[in-house]
Structure 1
Protein backbone atom coordinates (compact mmCIF):
# COMPACT_ATOMS: atom_id res chain seq x y z
CA UNK A 1 0.00 0.00 0.00
CA UNK A 2 2.00 2.94 -1.27
CA UNK A 3 1.21 6.58 -1.95
CA UNK A 4 0.54 5.88 -5.65
CA UNK A 5 -2.93 5.36 -7.02
CA UNK A 6 -4.67 5.80 -3.70
CA UNK A 7 -8.33 4.94 -3.77
CA UNK A 8 -10.82 5.41 -0.98
CA UNK A 9 -13.29 2.50 -0.66
CA UNK A 10 -16.05 4.94 0.26
CA UNK A 11 -18.99 2.65 -0.35
CA UNK A 12 -17.74 -0.04 2.02
CA UNK A 13 -17.39 2.36 4.93
CA UNK A 14 -20.76 3.98 4.21
CA UNK A 15 -22.43 0.56 4.19
CA UNK A 16 -20.71 -0.43 7.45
CA UNK A 17 -21.76 2.88 8.95
CA UNK A 18 -25.40 2.46 7.88
CA UNK A 19 -25.54 -1.12 9.07
CA UNK A 20 -24.23 -0.15 12.47
CA UNK A 21 -26.76 2.67 12.82
CA UNK A 22 -29.58 0.31 11.93
CA UNK A 23 -28.31 -2.33 14.31
CA UNK A 24 -26.86 -1.41 17.67
CA UNK A 25 -27.51 2.35 17.62
CA UNK A 26 -25.21 4.98 19.15
CA UNK A 27 -21.93 4.10 20.80
CA UNK A 28 -19.23 6.06 22.56
CA UNK A 29 -17.48 8.48 20.20
CA UNK A 30 -13.85 7.67 19.48
CA UNK A 31 -12.70 11.25 19.00
CA UNK A 32 -12.54 13.96 21.64
CA UNK A 33 -12.71 11.54 24.59
CA UNK A 34 -10.19 11.03 27.41
CA UNK A 35 -8.02 8.14 26.32
CA UNK A 36 -8.63 6.20 29.54
CA UNK A 37 -12.38 6.25 28.86
CA UNK A 38 -11.80 4.50 25.53
CA UNK A 39 -9.51 1.73 26.75
CA UNK A 40 -10.74 -1.73 27.61
CA UNK A 41 -11.04 -3.00 31.16
CA UNK A 42 -7.71 -4.75 30.67
CA UNK A 43 -6.09 -1.43 29.77
CA UNK A 44 -5.78 -2.11 26.03
CA UNK A 45 -6.06 0.66 23.47
CA UNK A 46 -9.30 0.98 21.47
CA UNK A 47 -9.45 -1.74 18.83
CA UNK A 48 -9.60 0.66 15.84
CA UNK A 49 -6.46 2.42 17.07
CA UNK A 50 -4.65 -0.90 17.57
CA UNK A 51 -5.55 -1.98 14.03
CA UNK A 52 -4.64 1.41 12.55
CA UNK A 53 -1.22 1.34 14.23
CA UNK A 54 -0.60 -2.19 12.98
CA UNK A 55 -1.37 -1.22 9.38
CA UNK A 56 0.86 1.85 9.57
CA UNK A 57 3.64 -0.29 11.04
CA UNK A 58 3.56 -2.41 7.88
CA UNK A 59 2.72 0.19 5.24
CA UNK A 60 4.20 3.39 6.67
CA UNK A 61 7.87 2.71 5.82
CA UNK A 62 7.05 2.25 2.11
CA UNK A 63 4.58 5.16 1.83
CA UNK A 64 6.31 8.29 0.61
CA UNK A 65 5.41 11.39 2.62
CA UNK A 66 3.54 9.46 5.32
CA UNK A 67 2.13 11.88 7.96
CA UNK A 68 3.09 14.81 5.73
CA UNK A 69 1.02 14.37 2.58
CA UNK A 70 -2.64 15.30 2.94
CA UNK A 71 -5.50 12.84 2.52
CA UNK A 72 -8.83 13.62 0.88
CA UNK A 73 -10.89 15.86 3.14
CA UNK A 74 -14.06 13.98 2.24
CA UNK A 75 -12.46 10.60 2.91
CA UNK A 76 -11.09 11.83 6.22
CA UNK A 77 -14.47 13.14 7.34
CA UNK A 78 -16.30 9.95 6.34
CA UNK A 79 -13.78 7.70 8.08
CA UNK A 80 -13.95 9.79 11.24
CA UNK A 81 -17.75 9.63 11.25
CA UNK A 82 -17.69 5.88 10.70
CA UNK A 83 -15.22 5.31 13.56
CA UNK A 84 -17.09 7.68 15.84
CA UNK A 85 -20.25 5.63 15.35
CA UNK A 86 -18.57 2.28 15.89
CA UNK A 87 -18.65 1.05 12.30
CA UNK A 88 -16.54 -2.03 11.65
CA UNK A 89 -13.99 -0.46 9.29
CA UNK A 90 -11.47 -2.71 7.55
CA UNK A 91 -8.29 -0.76 8.28
CA UNK A 92 -6.21 -2.98 6.04
CA UNK A 93 -8.11 -1.78 2.97
CA UNK A 94 -7.62 1.94 3.68
CA UNK A 95 -4.83 4.01 2.12
CA UNK A 96 -1.90 4.49 4.48
CA UNK A 97 -1.95 8.27 3.97
CA UNK A 98 -5.57 8.36 5.09
CA UNK A 99 -4.81 6.29 8.19
CA UNK A 100 -1.90 8.56 9.08
CA UNK A 101 -4.19 11.59 8.75
CA UNK A 102 -6.91 10.03 10.90
CA UNK A 103 -4.32 9.10 13.54
CA UNK A 104 -3.15 12.73 13.69
CA UNK A 105 -6.77 13.83 14.01
CA UNK A 106 -7.34 11.34 16.81
CA UNK A 107 -4.25 12.56 18.66
CA UNK A 108 -5.30 16.17 18.18
CA UNK A 109 -8.73 15.42 19.66
CA UNK A 110 -7.46 13.95 22.96
CA UNK A 111 -8.44 16.37 25.76
CA UNK A 112 -5.32 17.96 27.32
CA UNK A 113 -3.18 16.22 24.66
CA UNK A 114 -1.41 12.86 24.75
CA UNK A 115 1.61 14.29 26.62
CA UNK A 116 -0.72 16.23 28.97
CA UNK A 117 -0.83 20.01 28.89
CA UNK A 118 -0.19 20.28 32.63
CA UNK A 119 3.17 18.54 32.15
CA UNK A 120 4.38 20.95 29.46
CA UNK A 121 6.90 22.70 31.74
CA UNK A 122 8.15 19.35 33.04
CA UNK A 123 8.85 18.13 29.50
CA UNK A 124 10.61 21.36 28.62
CA UNK A 125 12.69 21.31 31.81
CA UNK A 126 13.83 17.76 31.07
CA UNK A 127 15.02 18.84 27.62
CA UNK A 128 17.22 21.50 29.23
CA UNK A 129 19.48 18.90 30.81
CA UNK A 130 23.03 19.00 29.53
CA UNK A 131 23.68 15.42 28.46
CA UNK A 132 21.67 12.89 26.50
CA UNK A 133 21.72 10.52 29.48
CA UNK A 134 20.35 13.20 31.81
CA UNK A 135 17.63 14.07 29.32
CA UNK A 136 16.59 10.42 29.05
CA UNK A 137 16.51 10.05 32.84
CA UNK A 138 14.37 13.15 33.34
CA UNK A 139 12.08 12.44 30.39
CA UNK A 140 11.44 8.94 31.73
CA UNK A 141 10.44 10.48 35.06
CA UNK A 142 7.99 12.84 33.31
CA UNK A 143 6.55 9.98 31.24
CA UNK A 144 5.80 8.07 34.43
CA UNK A 145 3.45 10.90 35.44
CA UNK A 146 1.25 10.25 32.40
CA UNK A 147 -2.04 8.35 32.74
CA UNK A 148 -1.47 4.68 31.96
CA UNK A 149 -3.47 4.84 28.73
CA UNK A 150 -1.52 7.87 27.51
CA UNK A 151 1.78 6.19 28.26
CA UNK A 152 0.73 3.04 26.41
CA UNK A 153 -0.25 4.95 23.27
CA UNK A 154 2.89 7.10 23.52
CA UNK A 155 5.11 4.02 23.50
CA UNK A 156 3.28 2.54 20.52
CA UNK A 157 3.35 5.84 18.62
CA UNK A 158 7.05 6.50 19.22
CA UNK A 159 7.93 2.99 18.13
CA UNK A 160 5.93 3.45 14.93
CA UNK A 161 7.54 6.80 14.13
CA UNK A 162 11.02 5.43 14.84
CA UNK A 163 10.33 2.48 12.53
CA UNK A 164 9.20 4.78 9.71
CA UNK A 165 12.05 7.21 10.32
CA UNK A 166 14.59 4.40 9.96
CA UNK A 167 13.17 3.72 6.50
CA UNK A 168 13.54 7.31 5.29
CA UNK A 169 15.00 6.09 1.99
CA UNK A 170 11.52 4.92 0.99
CA UNK A 171 9.21 6.97 3.24
CA UNK A 172 11.15 10.22 2.67
CA UNK A 173 10.32 10.94 6.29
CA UNK A 174 13.16 11.04 8.79
CA UNK A 175 12.60 11.40 12.52
CA UNK A 176 12.91 15.17 12.31
CA UNK A 177 10.26 15.43 9.57
CA UNK A 178 7.94 13.10 11.45
CA UNK A 179 8.30 15.17 14.62
CA UNK A 180 7.37 18.33 12.72
CA UNK A 181 4.25 16.65 11.29
CA UNK A 182 3.08 14.84 14.42
CA UNK A 183 4.58 16.83 17.31
CA UNK A 184 2.10 19.74 17.43
CA UNK A 185 -0.71 17.21 18.00
CA UNK A 186 0.96 15.80 21.12
CA UNK A 187 1.63 18.73 23.44
CA UNK A 188 0.95 22.41 24.02
CA UNK A 189 1.06 24.75 27.04
CA UNK A 190 -2.13 25.50 28.93
CA UNK A 191 -2.32 29.06 27.60
CA UNK A 192 -1.59 28.19 23.98
CA UNK A 193 -4.74 29.90 22.69
CA UNK A 194 -3.67 33.21 24.23
CA UNK A 195 -0.09 33.29 22.95
CA UNK A 196 1.03 35.70 20.20
CA UNK A 197 2.19 34.17 16.92
CA UNK A 198 5.89 34.52 17.73
CA UNK A 199 5.44 32.63 21.01
CA UNK A 200 3.36 29.96 19.30
CA UNK A 201 6.14 29.37 16.80
CA UNK A 202 8.68 29.09 19.61
CA UNK A 203 6.50 26.59 21.49
CA UNK A 204 5.96 24.56 18.33
CA UNK A 205 9.70 24.40 17.72
CA UNK A 206 10.37 23.26 21.31
CA UNK A 207 7.68 20.57 21.08
CA UNK A 208 9.06 19.33 17.76
CA UNK A 209 12.57 19.08 19.25
CA UNK A 210 11.14 17.15 22.21
CA UNK A 211 9.21 14.73 20.02
CA UNK A 212 12.19 14.14 17.74
CA UNK A 213 14.30 13.26 20.79
CA UNK A 214 11.57 10.96 22.13
CA UNK A 215 11.34 9.17 18.78
CA UNK A 216 15.08 8.72 18.37
CA UNK A 217 15.56 7.52 21.94
CA UNK A 218 12.34 5.62 22.62
CA UNK A 219 14.10 2.28 23.15
CA UNK A 220 16.35 3.71 25.83
CA UNK A 221 13.55 5.76 27.37
CA UNK A 222 11.31 2.77 27.86
CA UNK A 223 14.00 0.13 28.26
CA UNK A 224 13.19 -1.68 25.04
CA UNK A 225 9.44 -1.81 25.77
CA UNK A 226 8.71 0.37 22.73
CA UNK A 227 10.95 -1.67 20.47
CA UNK A 228 8.05 -3.35 18.69
CA UNK A 229 4.37 -2.98 17.95
CA UNK A 230 3.99 -6.72 17.92
CA UNK A 231 1.06 -7.24 20.26
CA UNK A 232 -1.22 -10.29 19.92
CA UNK A 233 -3.77 -8.10 18.13
CA UNK A 234 -1.12 -6.99 15.63
CA UNK A 235 -0.07 -10.58 14.98
CA UNK A 236 -3.65 -11.58 14.28
CA UNK A 237 -3.95 -8.68 11.84
CA UNK A 238 -0.70 -9.43 10.02
CA UNK A 239 -2.00 -12.48 8.12
CA UNK A 240 -4.99 -10.79 6.47
CA UNK A 241 -2.82 -7.79 5.65
CA UNK A 242 -0.45 -10.03 3.69
CA UNK A 243 -3.36 -11.09 1.51
CA UNK A 244 -3.87 -7.50 0.32
CA UNK A 245 -0.42 -7.53 -1.22
CA UNK A 246 -0.89 -10.90 -2.90
Structure 2
Protein backbone atom coordinates (compact mmCIF):
# COMPACT_ATOMS: atom_id res chain seq x y z
CA UNK A 1 0.00 0.00 0.00
CA UNK A 2 1.30 3.44 -0.97
CA UNK A 3 0.33 6.96 -0.12
CA UNK A 4 1.47 9.20 -3.00
CA UNK A 5 1.90 12.46 -1.16
CA UNK A 6 1.23 15.42 -3.45
CA UNK A 7 3.46 17.72 -1.39
CA UNK A 8 6.55 15.62 -2.17
CA UNK A 9 8.87 17.95 -4.06
CA UNK A 10 9.84 16.80 -7.53
CA UNK A 11 7.59 13.72 -7.59
CA UNK A 12 7.87 12.02 -11.02
CA UNK A 13 10.77 14.35 -11.86
CA UNK A 14 13.51 13.60 -9.35
CA UNK A 15 15.59 10.52 -10.00
CA UNK A 16 15.13 7.63 -7.61
CA UNK A 17 17.81 5.23 -6.43
CA UNK A 18 18.15 2.68 -9.23
CA UNK A 19 19.05 -0.18 -6.91
CA UNK A 20 16.00 0.52 -4.73
CA UNK A 21 13.79 0.58 -7.82
CA UNK A 22 15.21 -2.72 -9.04
CA UNK A 23 14.78 -4.36 -5.65
CA UNK A 24 11.17 -3.15 -5.39
CA UNK A 25 10.30 -4.43 -8.87
CA UNK A 26 11.87 -7.80 -8.09
CA UNK A 27 9.81 -8.08 -4.93
CA UNK A 28 6.61 -7.18 -6.77
CA UNK A 29 7.41 -9.53 -9.64
CA UNK A 30 8.02 -12.41 -7.27
CA UNK A 31 4.65 -11.89 -5.60
CA UNK A 32 6.14 -10.99 -2.24
CA UNK A 33 4.01 -8.94 0.11
CA UNK A 34 5.46 -5.45 0.03
CA UNK A 35 4.72 -2.60 2.42
CA UNK A 36 4.97 0.35 0.05
CA UNK A 37 4.45 2.80 2.91
CA UNK A 38 8.02 2.02 3.91
CA UNK A 39 9.33 2.75 0.42
CA UNK A 40 10.48 6.13 -0.84
CA UNK A 41 7.71 7.98 -2.67
CA UNK A 42 10.21 8.78 -5.42
CA UNK A 43 11.08 5.09 -5.80
CA UNK A 44 7.44 4.01 -6.07
CA UNK A 45 6.67 6.83 -8.49
CA UNK A 46 9.61 5.73 -10.63
CA UNK A 47 8.42 2.12 -10.64
CA UNK A 48 4.92 3.24 -11.62
CA UNK A 49 6.31 5.36 -14.45
CA UNK A 50 8.40 2.41 -15.63
CA UNK A 51 5.30 0.22 -15.68
CA UNK A 52 3.36 2.78 -17.72
CA UNK A 53 6.24 3.08 -20.18
CA UNK A 54 6.31 -0.68 -20.76
CA UNK A 55 2.62 -1.32 -21.40
CA UNK A 56 2.42 -3.06 -24.75
CA UNK A 57 0.94 -0.78 -27.37
CA UNK A 58 0.81 2.19 -24.95
CA UNK A 59 -1.97 2.93 -22.49
CA UNK A 60 -3.38 5.45 -25.01
CA UNK A 61 -3.09 2.80 -27.79
CA UNK A 62 -0.39 3.32 -30.40
CA UNK A 63 -2.95 2.92 -33.18
CA UNK A 64 -4.54 6.16 -31.97
CA UNK A 65 -1.26 8.04 -31.55
CA UNK A 66 -1.78 10.49 -34.43
CA UNK A 67 -5.37 11.11 -33.41
CA UNK A 68 -4.29 11.91 -29.85
CA UNK A 69 -1.73 14.40 -31.14
CA UNK A 70 -4.49 15.88 -33.29
CA UNK A 71 -6.49 16.77 -30.19
CA UNK A 72 -4.19 19.67 -29.44
CA UNK A 73 -4.80 21.05 -32.94
CA UNK A 74 -8.55 21.46 -32.39
CA UNK A 75 -9.92 24.99 -32.54
CA UNK A 76 -10.88 25.86 -28.99
CA UNK A 77 -10.82 24.37 -25.51
CA UNK A 78 -14.29 22.85 -25.75
CA UNK A 79 -13.46 21.16 -29.07
CA UNK A 80 -10.27 19.75 -27.58
CA UNK A 81 -12.20 18.31 -24.63
CA UNK A 82 -14.81 16.71 -26.90
CA UNK A 83 -12.08 15.22 -29.13
CA UNK A 84 -10.26 13.79 -26.08
CA UNK A 85 -13.45 12.27 -24.68
CA UNK A 86 -14.23 10.62 -28.03
CA UNK A 87 -10.80 8.99 -28.09
CA UNK A 88 -11.11 7.88 -24.47
CA UNK A 89 -14.36 6.15 -25.42
CA UNK A 90 -12.39 4.04 -27.93
CA UNK A 91 -10.00 2.68 -25.31
CA UNK A 92 -10.47 -0.68 -23.59
CA UNK A 93 -12.16 -0.37 -20.22
CA UNK A 94 -9.00 -1.22 -18.26
CA UNK A 95 -6.98 1.45 -20.06
CA UNK A 96 -9.64 4.08 -19.41
CA UNK A 97 -9.95 3.24 -15.71
CA UNK A 98 -6.18 3.38 -15.18
CA UNK A 99 -5.94 6.68 -17.05
CA UNK A 100 -8.75 8.13 -14.96
CA UNK A 101 -6.95 7.34 -11.73
CA UNK A 102 -3.60 8.42 -13.13
CA UNK A 103 -4.83 11.83 -14.20
CA UNK A 104 -6.68 12.21 -10.93
CA UNK A 105 -3.33 11.72 -9.19
CA UNK A 106 -1.55 14.13 -11.56
CA UNK A 107 -4.27 16.74 -11.09
CA UNK A 108 -3.99 16.42 -7.31
CA UNK A 109 -0.22 16.86 -7.48
CA UNK A 110 -0.58 19.87 -9.79
CA UNK A 111 -2.96 21.51 -7.31
CA UNK A 112 -0.04 21.69 -4.86
CA UNK A 113 2.61 22.85 -7.33
CA UNK A 114 3.52 25.79 -5.10
CA UNK A 115 4.92 23.23 -2.64
CA UNK A 116 6.07 20.36 -4.87
CA UNK A 117 7.27 22.48 -7.83
CA UNK A 118 5.39 20.19 -10.20
CA UNK A 119 3.17 22.26 -12.46
CA UNK A 120 0.99 20.67 -15.13
CA UNK A 121 3.73 21.39 -17.65
CA UNK A 122 6.48 19.88 -15.49
CA UNK A 123 4.38 16.76 -14.91
CA UNK A 124 3.61 16.42 -18.60
CA UNK A 125 7.30 16.60 -19.52
CA UNK A 126 7.99 13.75 -17.07
CA UNK A 127 4.96 11.58 -17.86
CA UNK A 128 4.20 12.08 -21.58
CA UNK A 129 7.08 9.91 -22.88
CA UNK A 130 5.85 7.02 -20.71
CA UNK A 131 2.20 7.05 -21.77
CA UNK A 132 2.13 8.24 -25.40
CA UNK A 133 4.02 5.90 -27.72
CA UNK A 134 4.10 6.04 -31.55
CA UNK A 135 3.28 2.84 -33.50
CA UNK A 136 6.90 2.39 -34.53
CA UNK A 137 8.83 2.82 -31.30
CA UNK A 138 12.13 2.06 -33.04
CA UNK A 139 12.09 5.30 -35.01
CA UNK A 140 13.00 8.68 -33.60
CA UNK A 141 10.09 11.01 -32.95
CA UNK A 142 9.95 14.37 -34.63
CA UNK A 143 10.62 17.24 -32.26
CA UNK A 144 7.24 18.72 -33.16
CA UNK A 145 5.48 15.51 -32.08
CA UNK A 146 7.34 15.51 -28.76
CA UNK A 147 6.21 19.08 -28.10
CA UNK A 148 2.63 18.28 -29.11
CA UNK A 149 2.29 15.26 -26.85
CA UNK A 150 3.68 17.22 -23.90
CA UNK A 151 1.09 19.91 -24.67
CA UNK A 152 -1.63 17.25 -24.87
CA UNK A 153 -0.81 15.72 -21.48
CA UNK A 154 -0.61 19.20 -19.95
CA UNK A 155 -4.07 19.97 -21.37
CA UNK A 156 -5.47 16.71 -19.98
CA UNK A 157 -4.10 17.49 -16.52
CA UNK A 158 -5.38 21.05 -16.53
CA UNK A 159 -8.82 19.99 -17.74
CA UNK A 160 -8.94 16.69 -15.86
CA UNK A 161 -12.25 17.37 -14.11
CA UNK A 162 -14.07 18.34 -17.30
CA UNK A 163 -12.67 15.42 -19.29
CA UNK A 164 -12.83 12.60 -16.74
CA UNK A 165 -15.60 13.93 -14.48
CA UNK A 166 -15.55 16.09 -11.36
CA UNK A 167 -16.09 13.03 -9.15
CA UNK A 168 -12.56 11.90 -9.97
CA UNK A 169 -11.26 13.69 -6.87
CA UNK A 170 -13.40 11.42 -4.67
CA UNK A 171 -11.43 8.41 -5.96
CA UNK A 172 -8.32 9.57 -4.16
CA UNK A 173 -9.53 8.78 -0.65
CA UNK A 174 -10.96 10.75 2.21
CA UNK A 175 -7.87 11.25 4.38
CA UNK A 176 -6.14 14.58 4.10
CA UNK A 177 -2.51 15.37 4.71
CA UNK A 178 -1.20 18.03 7.01
CA UNK A 179 -0.43 21.14 5.03
CA UNK A 180 1.66 24.18 5.69
CA UNK A 181 0.41 26.53 8.38
CA UNK A 182 -0.27 29.10 5.72
CA UNK A 183 -2.59 26.66 3.94
CA UNK A 184 -4.35 25.77 7.17
CA UNK A 185 -4.90 29.42 8.00
CA UNK A 186 -6.36 30.31 4.62
CA UNK A 187 -10.09 30.93 4.91
CA UNK A 188 -12.14 31.64 1.81
CA UNK A 189 -15.73 31.24 0.76
CA UNK A 190 -14.63 28.23 -1.30
CA UNK A 191 -12.05 26.15 0.64
CA UNK A 192 -8.98 25.06 -1.32
CA UNK A 193 -8.71 21.48 -2.44
CA UNK A 194 -7.46 19.19 0.30
CA UNK A 195 -4.15 17.46 -0.10
CA UNK A 196 -5.27 13.86 -0.23
CA UNK A 197 -2.83 10.97 -0.05
CA UNK A 198 -3.57 8.48 -2.79
CA UNK A 199 -3.79 4.94 -1.53
CA UNK A 200 -2.54 2.50 -4.14
CA UNK A 201 -2.36 -1.26 -3.92
CA UNK A 202 0.05 -2.61 -6.48
CA UNK A 203 0.36 -6.18 -7.65
CA UNK A 204 2.57 -7.30 -10.51
CA UNK A 205 1.03 -10.01 -12.63
CA UNK A 206 0.98 -11.29 -16.19
CA UNK A 207 -1.85 -9.37 -17.79
CA UNK A 208 -2.41 -6.85 -20.55
CA UNK A 209 -4.52 -3.72 -20.64
CA UNK A 210 -5.50 -3.98 -24.29
CA UNK A 211 -6.06 -6.62 -26.96
CA UNK A 212 -2.92 -7.81 -28.75
CA UNK A 213 -4.89 -8.08 -31.97
CA UNK A 214 -5.62 -4.37 -31.91
CA UNK A 215 -2.33 -2.88 -30.85
CA UNK A 216 1.31 -3.27 -31.83
CA UNK A 217 4.04 -3.72 -29.28
CA UNK A 218 5.51 -0.46 -28.01
CA UNK A 219 8.14 -1.88 -25.69
CA UNK A 220 9.31 -5.30 -24.61
CA UNK A 221 6.98 -7.35 -22.42
CA UNK A 222 6.99 -5.90 -18.90
CA UNK A 223 5.82 -7.36 -15.65
CA UNK A 224 2.34 -5.90 -15.75
CA UNK A 225 0.95 -3.94 -12.88
CA UNK A 226 -2.57 -4.26 -11.62
CA UNK A 227 -3.30 -1.00 -9.82
CA UNK A 228 -6.17 -0.44 -7.42
CA UNK A 229 -6.58 3.05 -6.04
TM-score w.r.t. length of structure 1: 0.68
Which residue in 2 is equivalent to 1:140? 85
The equivalent residue for 1:216 is: 158
Contact 2:52-2:59 within 8 A present in 1 as well? yes
Specify the alignment match of 1:191 in structure 2. 136
| Unaligned residue ranges in structure 2 (runs of 5+) | 175-195, 200-229
Alpha-carbon distance in structure 2 between the residues aligned to 1:117 and 1:205? 17
Counting strand residues as a fraction of each chain, which structure ranks higher? 2
Runs of 4 or more, structure 1, over 3 Å off, are none
- Aligned residue pairs, count: 177
Shift of 1:159: 0.7
Write the deviation string for residues 192-211 of structure 1: whole angstroms up to 9, x where unpaired: 3223x6x1x32222111111
| Residue 158 (str. 1) matches residue 103 (str. 2) | yes
Q: Distance in 2 between matches of 1:194 and 1:97?
A: 30
| Contact map agreement 2:71 2:152 (CA 8 A) in 1 | no
Structure 2 CA distance, aligned partners of 1:85 and 1:203? 37
Task: Give the alignment partner of residue 76 of structure 1, picking from 11, 14, 21.
Answer: 21
**Over residues 197-232 of structure 1, what are the superposed CA-to-partner deviations in whole Å (9 max), with x where a residue is unaligned?**
6x1x32222111111111111110122242333369
Contact 1:188 1:207 in 2 (8 A): no
Deviation of the 1:62 alpha carbon: 1.6
TM-score by length of 2: 0.73
More helix by share: 1
Which structure 1 segments of 5+ residues have no match?
A: 1-50, 239-246
Which of the numbers 100, 103, 124 marks the counterpart of 1:179? 124
**CA distance, structure 1, for counterparts of residue 130 and residue 167 of structure 2:** 23
Aligned CA-pair RMSD: 1.9
1:119 corresponds in structure 2 to 64
